[in-house]
Amino acid sequence: MLDLKFVRENPEVVKQNIKNKFQDHKLPLVDEVIELDEKSRKAQQEADALRANRKKISKEIGALMGQGKKEEAEALKEQVNKDADRLAELEAQESELQEKVKKIMMVIPNIIDPSVPIGKDDSENVEIQKYGEPVVPDFEVPYHAEIMEKFNGLDLDSARKVAGNGFYYLMGDIARLHSAIISYARDFMINKGFTYCVPPFMIRSDVVTGVMSFDEMDAMMYKIEGEDLYLIGTSEHSMIGKYIDTILKEETLPHTLTSYSPCFRKEKGAHGIEERGVYRIHQFEKQEMIVVCKPEESKMWFDKLWQNTVDLFRSLDIPVRTLECCSGDLADLKVKSIDVEAWSPRQKKYFEVGSCSNLGDAQARRLKIRVVGENGKYFAHTLNNTVVAPPRMLIAFLENNLREDGTVAIPKALQPYMGGMTEIK
């Protein structure tokens, strides 16, 4: 969420940013929110004047009563009562206007970084760099579900009976591989200096609206019926929510956390849930990383975060590339975002396995995450990035480590987490 003062003083900048994100339908909101804010401030000024006058008159009434001037005191009391009625009217008006302002401010997109390429959607994202040599083997690489099923490691039919499409049973060595990757990613991030965290897997509505836009919330979150709770779609929401309504000491920054959690997503608006695969699903597990830092350090941390994901995938011999998200592909709260994509030998192309985002002070402003330092209070910057998210990671792992004889090689870094196994037969 933007600073209302910034919108008031820079309406054309805000409008151009909206145009850059191809959300022209939001352009009238800028003038509307400025007008509502002006009315709100006028109501507040009049209310403040009435409160000050009431205080002054109250003293005069006391003095008059002490002098026995009852009639004059009663006349002033009548004036106080009239002012009270007007004050109540103004306070109701002020509250209504502020709520309207807040509602609009929640949908005006954050100002994107000047380095973000302008484009309508993800088809216009820009490749930055490739890491590792993508290999297409001489033999045919089966669909990932077939690879898993040959190891008796995937049961979609039973999951469909139990929960419907978009769910799965992982079994045997494939299930073990799934857990091994999560454990390896956990230790990988701890060795990078991040504090390990297992967060709540449900969050309240004030946290949900603090960390994401309404459109994202509607498309992603599962609501717990009858309670003010939502299942998390990603653990960064729960971890950022940890700091809601807090004042952090500047000298304690940055706060760097890495978390494990299951994630639950409706995938509303997606191109359907695959019946045979595990690429787009309602439930998965994830290792995540977040940073809460000073504004001047957020760019540096952004580069560190996406590099962590690249380093992890390369340590498992998986070729990846980084992709700069264009303006139209950025969620409203994001300042800048980079996707990490892994190589798929079967498809002969890259596919998304993680996303790194800098949200500036947007989440901190919504959640009231403030920092106190030598120069007073200010809002923190927040960032997040996927370390690894199986089973999507399993697709990349299995395709890139599959041998012609059907066995799957276990990279050296992962062998301790697989009980010393060097391959899956």
* Residue percentage of the chain with pLDDT more than 90: 81
Q: Looking at the structure, tell me whether residues 161 and 55 fall in a common domain.
A: no
CA 294 from centroid of its chain's CA atoms: 18
Asked if residue 108 lies in contact with residue 14, where contact means CB atoms within 8 angstroms, the answer is: yes
Whether residues 133 and 178 fall in one domain: yes
Of 22-26, 257-261, 276-280, 372-376, the poorest mean pLDDT is in: 276-280
Q: What percentage of the chain reaches a pLDDT higher than 70?
A: 96
Indicate whether 52 and 186 sit together in one domain.
Answer: no
Tokens matching residue 130: 């490739």
66 is a domain residue: yes
Together in a domain, 209 and 335: yes
Last residue of a domain, one of 44, 79, 105: 105
Each residue's pLDDT tens digit, 232-261: 999 999 999 999 999 999 999 999 999 999
Residue that has been written with the tokens 């192309």 in this structure: 349
Model confidence pLDDT, tens digit, residues 188-225:
999 999 999 999 999 999 999 999 877 788 788 999 99
Query: Which CATH number does the domain housing residue 203 bear?
Result: 3.30.930.10
Judge whether 379 lies within some domain: yes
CA angle, corner 213, sides to 262 and 267, nearest 5?
45
Question: Do 194 and 59 lie in a common domain?
Answer: no
3-state secondary structure of 317: coil
Does the residue 112 lie in any domain?
Answer: no
Final residue of a structural domain among 47, 74, 105: 105
For residues 58 and 131, state if they share a domain.
Answer: no
28 and 154 co-located in one domain? no
Look at residue 110 and tell me if it is in a domain: no
Does 255 reside within a domain? Answer: yes
Q: What are phi and psi of 257, to 5 degrees?
A: -125, 145
Residue 20: the pLDDT is 98
| 74/177 same-domain check | no
Query: The domain spanning residue 82 has which CATH number?
Result: 1.10.287.40
Contact 112, 330 (CB under 8 A): yes
Domain for residue 278, yes or no? yes
Residue 285: is its pLDDT beyond 70?
yes
Angle value at C-alpha 50, between 48 and 56, nearest 5 degrees? 105
- Compute the half-sphere exposure of residue 283: CA atoms within 13 Å on the CB side of its CA: 13
The answer to whether residues 131 and 275 belong to one domain is yes
Q: Is the pLDDT of residue 270 over 60?
A: no
How many domains are contained in the chain? Answer: 2
- Residue 229 inside a domain? The answer is yes
**Closest Cα partner for 108 from 297, 296, 365?**
365
Tell me, yes or no, whether 87 and 198 share the same domain: no
Q: What is the pLDDT of residues 386-419, one digit of tens each?
A: 999 998 999 999 999 999 999 999 999 999 999 9
Q: Is the pLDDT of residue 269 over 60?
A: no
Q: Is the dihedral of CA 39, 44, 50, 52 positive or negative?
A: negative
pLDDT of residue 202: 97
* H helix count then E strand count, the chain: 13, 18
Contacts 24+ apart (CB under 8 A), 370-373: 370/246, 370/247, 370/248, 371/247, 371/248, 371/249, 371/250, 371/253, 371/294, 372/247, 372/248, 372/249, 372/250, 373/249, 373/250, 373/251
Which residue, of 105, 135, 165, is where some domain finishes?
105
Same domain for 145 and 83: no
Tell me the C-alpha distance between 148 and 324, whole Å.
32
CB 40 within 8 A of CB 63: no
Is residue 115 one of the residues assigned to a domain?
A: no
Mean pLDDT of 63-67: 71
Range of 302's domain?
122-424
CB burial of 43-67 (b: ≥16 within 10 Å; e: otherwise) equals bbebbeebeeeeeebeeebeebeee
Q: Tokens 């927040």, residue?
A: 382
Does residue 178 sit in the same domain as residue 99? Answer: no
- 145 pLDDT band, cuts 50/70/90, is very high
Of the pLDDT bands very low, low, confident and very high (cuts 50, 70, 90), residue 342 is: very high
